[in-house]
């Protein structure tokens, strides 16, 4: 696995079934049954994290379903795209500014940033 071992281990403490999958030379992290932020329907989904640049984004998070939610990420710009023989959906979301020098982010931090797209903002 090309991802740092300690970062995978950190995620594995909560997501025991995660695995790395590769397609077209790109490595993804497949996480089954991730619990989505409160208010999402369905409440959980399989997700595919691409922590490297893709589609003009610094990183991307694909979900196994088009989730209904009240978070700020409402622009679904990937619908049913096929990766590793499955259909995936993704919202347009910049975990960090595209032009900014990306700080060295841990995989767990990148994943958490993408999930903000689906989180209702508190008052």
Alpha-carbon Rg for the chain, nearest whole angstrom, is 14
Residue 8 DSSP SS3: helix
CB of 25 to other proteins, least distance (A): 25
- C-beta separation of 26 from 8 below 8 A: no
CB of 98 to other proteins, least distance (A): 8
Residue ranges in contact with other proteins by CB under 8 A: 6-7, 10-11, 13-15, 33-35, 37, 44, 72-75, 91-98, 100, 103, 105-106, 108-117, 119
CA–CA distances in Å: residue 54 to residues 64, 89, 120: 18, 14, 26
CB of 61 to other proteins, least distance (A): 11
Nearer to other proteins, 57 or 88 (CB): 57
């Amino acid at each position: 696995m090309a991802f740092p071992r300690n970062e995978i281990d950190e995620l594995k403490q909560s997501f025991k079934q995660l695995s790395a999958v590769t397609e077209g030379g790109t490595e993804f992290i497949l996480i089954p049954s991730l619990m989505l932020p409160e208010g999402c329907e369905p409440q959980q989904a399989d997700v595919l994290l691409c922590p490297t640049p893709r589609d003009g984004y610094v990183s991307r998070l694909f979900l196994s379903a088009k989730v209904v939610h009240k978070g700020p990420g409402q622009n679904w710009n990937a619908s049913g795209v096929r990766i590793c023989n499955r259909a995936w959906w993704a919202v347009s979301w910049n975990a960090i500014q595209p032009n900014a020098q990306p700080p060295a982010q841990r995989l767990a931090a990148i994943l958490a940033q993408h999930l903000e797209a689906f989180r209702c903002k508190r008052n």
